[in-house]
Structure formats: structure tokens, C-alpha cells
């Protein structure tokens, strides 16, 4: 349970808010690289952290991220012509480069120096791991890109997509680190994770322990990058089954996977206080993704939802009650809703666009959620007092993995799974062809 004030502190990310300023200390993903596929291609509107921006790839291939509106008479630069290293407003021809400088003002007399006095907001960008990242904080505090394993693997080893979610980032992120809901929300009536007809990848036998012990014990440890979240279940008489989620500041989660499986990262990036982009990345550090995996990801299987063509909006959504099938719910699956991300979306969006945390009744299974809130609120308040967040300047600390593993009962998970919790990808040794 949070007070109304704490809930606002946690969820509001506009410029000038404590959480908004914390987010602005980190590089955050704002677009998939392929949304700007070529030099001088059409610009794309970018709404992030409550700010309206427009992105364009200029003639040098560099990405500009600038104010959405022309400062002249506030027409949208989205209509603009992307030409010769700048975006030209179609209203009166004012032209801006990726650093927000006004290069040309053809509607003013040639002798006018007005254009030297006009500059618009622009943010630094970098491209890495198939994404365009932005730094929206003060220039004197510019930080390091997080070094996550999926950003370093070859393109063949990775798949990613983004989805528009109609609620605050925080309640969806809380779902990502809540390892206890899977055995309910994502299950079928036979006591398994429901595959939705598509093939289950990985070693699912271990996962069945999740259904024998429905009330995991949570062990949450503070780390440099965020939290190490161990959910411990009884396995055999002398062993525990551990599912370890990694939560990375400010808003990323690595979902538990068995060693050798294809790993998964969820990223929740606020569009505004009432909606966010959900980026989901699958990667396998050891091999290219298989045809089977890719087919499942691209065709609305269990991991990625089917979208309306040409959009990042899922076909099953709030407006059609997520296509819930009540007869399926009686006969086969726990929810009657198809696909893991849609099941998640139905629950988190149903809380309202900002969950009212003053009304919650949290239990022991919510330990990780409580800790992540505390961590974010503390970091935001410390930043107000001038203490910079450690992780924003230490990208290397993000070079980790989640895991799911069975260990003898007398061994602590961070020791027993130490090697499994470190990323190991080495570009020089990467296998890139065939399986």
C-alpha cells in the first residue's frame, strides 16, 4: 500500500517531477532502429516521458530527436521534408538539424540574423542492439548506455518488437517482476503453462515445479543495477527450484529462463503517465534464433501478440475485451484469453491507467514489487538531494542474466547460481550460421 503522494511520486515521469528526472539520468530506448530504416527516410513521432518529439535519420545516417513543433508558428515538424541533413517545416520552410539548430529560414530576408537566435530542444541519441536510445537529462550528467547482453549479440541471435500499452509503466513492470502470477494467469487447467497451440521452447520440466508449489518464497537482494529476485519453490526432497528474475533500474526486467534457453527482456518506457511502450527482446547468446522461434514471434504466438497490420497495437485489446473466450476458460485455459502478453495486458490495464495503490492489500508474494518501488522512490528522492544514481554511470553492471535452476536446499541462490547469473556472450566466439 502506498499513500496517494507516494503513488504519484512513483508513477509521474513528466519533466520536473522527481521520477521524471531520475528517468532522464538514464539512456532509454525510444524507437526500434528499423522504424527509421534509411538516410532521409520519413520522420517518426516520438512521445516519451510526457514530451512530444520527432525523430529523423539525417543524410549522414545519424538520428535527430527534436521538439515535435516548429518554433515559428508551432506546426508539426512531422509533416517536414527530411533533406540534406535537416528537417524542413513544410509551413514556411524553416529547417532544423539534429542538434536543434535552425539552418535555414527562407521566409525571412536574406540579411536577417533571426535564424541564429532560434534553437529548439534536441536530445542526444545512440544506436545499439537494434534500438535508438535517447538521453534526455542535463548535458553535464550524461551517463553510460547499459551494457545488456542482447545489445551485443549478432542480429541473427535476437528478435524484438514493441507494443502500445494503455496504462502507466509501473504497474506493467510490477507484473514483469512478479514471478508468482505465471502459475495462475498463464496456466491451463491441466496445471501447465498454456502454450496457446504453439510449441513450448526450452526445458519445461523444471517449470512444472511452479505448479506443485504455488506459493514461492521470495528472496530479494539489492544490487548495483537493481534487484536480484529469487522465487524459491520446493522441488525434490533435498532441492529447491529457483526462478531468478533480474530487475534493472529504472524499468527493465529479465524473465527467468533455464540455461541454454532463449532469454527474454521486458522494457517499459513511459509515453506519458497513462500509457507506455512495451519493448520485448528475445535473445540466445549461444546460437541464432531458430526458424521455428522466429515464426512463432512474428505470427502472434504465445510470446508476442498479433498486432493490427502496420501498427504496434495488439489485435486483442481493451476495446474488444482482449477477445476473451468464456467457453475456452471453462474447458482449457485459466483465463480464456490467448497469449501471455495479452493475459498480462488484460490484468494490468484493468487496474486503470494509473493503479490506485492506496487500496492494495499486498501479501508475501509481493515482496519484489515492494522493494522495486522503494528502490525507485529512494533513488528519485536522493537525486533531488544531489546524489546521482550509481547504475546510470555503470553500464557494465547490466551484463547479467536471469536463471531458473534446481539447487541443493543448503545452498543460497546467489552463490549456487553465481556463474549462471553473469552474462557470458563473447562476440569473437559467436556462432552465427546454422544451428
Nearest residue to the partner Fe ion, using Cβ: 344
Round to whole Å and give the CA distance between 166 and 346.
10
Q: Is residue 239 within 8 Å of 407, Cβ to Cβ? A: yes
**Residue with Cβ nearer Fe ion (88 or 280):** 280
- Residue 178 touches Fe ion, criterion: CB under 5 A: no
Residue 311's beta-bridge partner residues? none
As a residue count, the chain comes to: 435
300-319 positions binding Fe ion, by CB under 5 A: none
Question: How many angstroms separate the CA atoms of 322 and 316, rounded?
Answer: 4
Q: What number of other Cβ atoms are within 10 A of residue 186's Cβ? A: 23
From the CB of 186, what's the least distance to Fe ion, in Å? 6
3-state secondary structure of 192: coil
Nearest to 127 by CA among 179, 63, 190, 84: 63
Segment interacting with Fe ion, rule: CB under 5 A, options 19-27, 203-211, 249-257, 340-348: 340-348
Sign of the four-CA dihedral 319, 162, 266, 10: negative
Query: What is the smallest separation between the CB atom of 270 and Fe ion, expressed in angstroms?
Result: 20
Decide whether 174 or 258 has the Cβ nearer to Fe ion. 174
Q: Please say which residue, 149 or 344, places its beta carbon nearer to Fe ion.
A: 344
Q: Which is nearer to Fe ion, 54 or 342 (CB)?
A: 342
For residue 365, the minimal CB distance to Fe ion (Å) is 13
What is the smallest separation between the CB atom of 181 and Fe ion, expressed in angstroms? 6
Q: From the CB of 366, what's the least distance to Fe ion, in Å?
A: 15
Binding part of the chain for Fe ion, among 18-26, 212-220, 258-266, 338-346 by CB under 5 A, reads 338-346
- The CA distance from 45 to 65, in Å, is 9
Q: Give CA–CA dist 308/379, Å, rounded.
A: 38
| Separation CA 56–CA 81 (nearest Å) | 10
Using the contact rule CB under 5 A, the part of the chain among 164-172, 188-196, 240-248, 342-350 near Fe ion is 342-350
Nearest CB to Fe ion, comparing residues 293 and 344: 344
Least distance (Å) between residue 178 CB and Fe ion: 8
Site size for Fe ion, by CB under 5 A? 1
**In whole angstroms, how close is the CB of 343 to Fe ion at the nearest point?**
6
Contact 368, 177 (CB under 8 A): yes
Which among 207-215, 339-347, 409-417, 425-433 is the span making contact with Fe ion, rule CB under 5 A? 339-347
CA-to-CA distance for 336 and 95, rounded, in angstroms?
Answer: 52
| Nearest approach, Cβ of residue 176 and Fe ion (Å) | 7
CB closer to Fe ion, 12 vs 245: 245
Q: How far is the CB of 253 from Fe ion (least distance, A)?
A: 11
| 97, 272, 293, 344: residue in contact with Fe ion (rule CB under 5 A) | 344
How far is it, in rounded angstroms, from Cα 383 to Cα 33? 31
Nearest approach, Cβ of residue 340 and Fe ion (Å): 6
Cell 553465481 maps to which residue? 418
Candidates 177, 370, 161, 352; CA nearest to 275 is 352
Give me the least distance between CB of 411 and Fe ion, in Å please: 28
**Sole window of 243-251, 315-323, 341-349, 363-371 interacting with Fe ion (rule: CB under 5 A):** 341-349
Q: CA 343, CA 345: separation in Å to the nearest integer?
A: 5
* Residue 401: C-alpha distances to residues 21, 216, 264, 406, 421 (Å): 28, 20, 9, 16, 5
Q: By CB under 5 A, which span of 41-49, 249-257, 278-286, 344-352 interacts with Fe ion?
A: 344-352
Tell me the three cell numbers of residue 27: 539512456
Question: In angstroms, rounded to a whole number, what is the distance separating the alpha carbons of residues 155 and 303?
Answer: 19
Looking at 246-254, 316-324, 337-345, 382-390, which segment touches Fe ion (CB under 5 A)?
Answer: 337-345
* Closest to Fe ion by CB, 172 or 403: 172
The Cα–Cα gap between 250 and 30 comes to 14
Nearer to Fe ion by C-beta: 258 or 344? 344
Binding window for Fe ion (CB under 5 A); candidates: 121-129, 225-233, 241-249, 343-351: 343-351
Looking up cell 497490420 gives 309
User: Which residue number, 127 or 166, has a Cβ lying nearer to Fe ion?
Assistant: 166
Map residue 429 onto helix, strand or coil: helix
Q: Which is closer to Fe ion, CB of 46 or CB of 185?
A: 185
Nearest to Fe ion of 65, 173 (CB atom): 173
d(CA 234, CA 290): 33
Residues in touch with Fe ion (CB under 5 A) = 344
Amino acid at each position: 500500500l502506498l499513500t496517494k503522494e507516494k503513488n504519484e511520486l512513483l508513477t509521474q515521469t513528466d519533466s520536473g517531477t522527481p521520477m521524471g528526472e531520475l528517468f532522464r539520468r538514464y539512456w532509454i530506448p525510444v524507437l526500434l532502429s528499423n522504424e527509421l530504416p534509411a538516410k532521409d527516410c520519413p520522420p517518426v513521432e516520438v512521445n516519451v516521458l510526457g514530451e512530444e518529439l520527432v525523430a529523423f535519420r539525417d543524410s549522414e545516417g545519424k538520428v535527430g530527436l527534436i521538439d515535435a513543433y516548429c518554433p515559428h508558428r508551432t506546426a508539426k515538424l512531422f509533416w517536414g521534408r527530411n533533406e540534406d541533413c535537416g528537417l524542413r517545416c513544410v509551413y514556411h520552410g524553416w529547417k532544423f538539424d539534429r542538434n536543434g539548430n535552425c539552418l535555414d529560414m527562407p521566409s525571412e530576408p536574406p540579411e536577417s540574423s533571426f535564424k541564429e537566435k532560434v534553437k529548439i530542444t534536441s536530445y542526444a541519441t545512440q544506436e545499439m542492439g537494434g534500438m535508438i536510445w535517447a538521453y534526455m537529462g542535463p548535458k553535464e550528467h550524461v551517463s553510460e548506455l547499459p551494457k545488456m547482453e542482447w545489445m551485443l549479440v549478432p542480429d541473427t541471435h535476437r528478435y524484438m518488437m514493441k507494443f502500445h500499452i494503455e496504462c502507466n509503466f509501473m504497474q506493467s513492470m510490477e507484473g514483469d517482476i512478479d514471478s508468482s502470477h505465471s502459475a495462475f494467469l498463464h496456466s491451463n487447467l491441466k496445471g501447465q503453462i498454456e502454450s496457446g497451440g504453439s510449441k513450448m521452447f526450452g526445458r519445461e520440466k523444471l517449470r512444472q515445479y511452479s505448479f506443485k508449489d504455488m506459493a514461492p518464497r521470495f528472496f530479494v537482494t539489492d544490487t548495483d543495477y537493481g534487484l536480484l529476485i529469487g522465487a524459491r519453490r520446493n522441488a525434490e526432497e533435498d532441492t529447491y527450484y529457483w526462478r531468478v528474475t533480474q530487475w534493472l533500474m529504472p524499468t527493465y526486467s529479465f524473465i527467468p529462463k533455464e540455461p541454454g534457453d532463449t532469454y527474454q527482456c521486458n522494457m517499459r518506457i513511459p509515453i506519458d503517465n497513462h500509457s507506455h511502450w512495451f519493448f520485448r527482446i528475445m535473445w540466445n547468446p549461444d546460437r541464432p534464433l531458430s526458424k521455428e522461434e522466429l515464426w512463432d514471434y512474428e505470427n502472434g504466438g504465445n510470446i508476442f501478440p498479433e498486432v493490427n497490420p502496420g501498427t504496434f497495437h495488439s489485435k486483442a485489446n481493451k476495446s474488444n475485451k482482449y477477445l476473451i473466450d468464456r467457453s475456452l476458460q471453462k474447458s482449457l485455459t485459466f483465463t480464456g484469453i490467448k497469449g501471455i502478453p495479452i493475459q498480462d495486458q488484460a490484468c494490468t490495464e484493468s487496474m486503470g491507467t494509473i493503479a490506485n495503490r492506496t487500496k492494495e492489500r499486498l501479501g508475501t508474494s509481493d515482496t519484489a514489487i515492494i522493494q522495486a518501488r522503494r528502490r525507485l522512490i529512494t533513488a528519485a528522492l536522493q537525486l533531488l538531494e544531489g546524489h546521482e544514481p550509481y547504475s546510470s554511470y555503470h553500464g557494465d553492471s547490466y551484463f547479467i542474466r536471469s536463471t531458473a535452476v534446481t539447487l541443493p536446499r543448503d545452498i543460497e541462490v546467489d552463490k549456487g547460481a553465481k556463474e549462471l547469473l553473469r552474462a557470458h556472450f563473447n562476440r569473437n566466439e559467436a556462432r552465427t550460421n546454422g544451428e
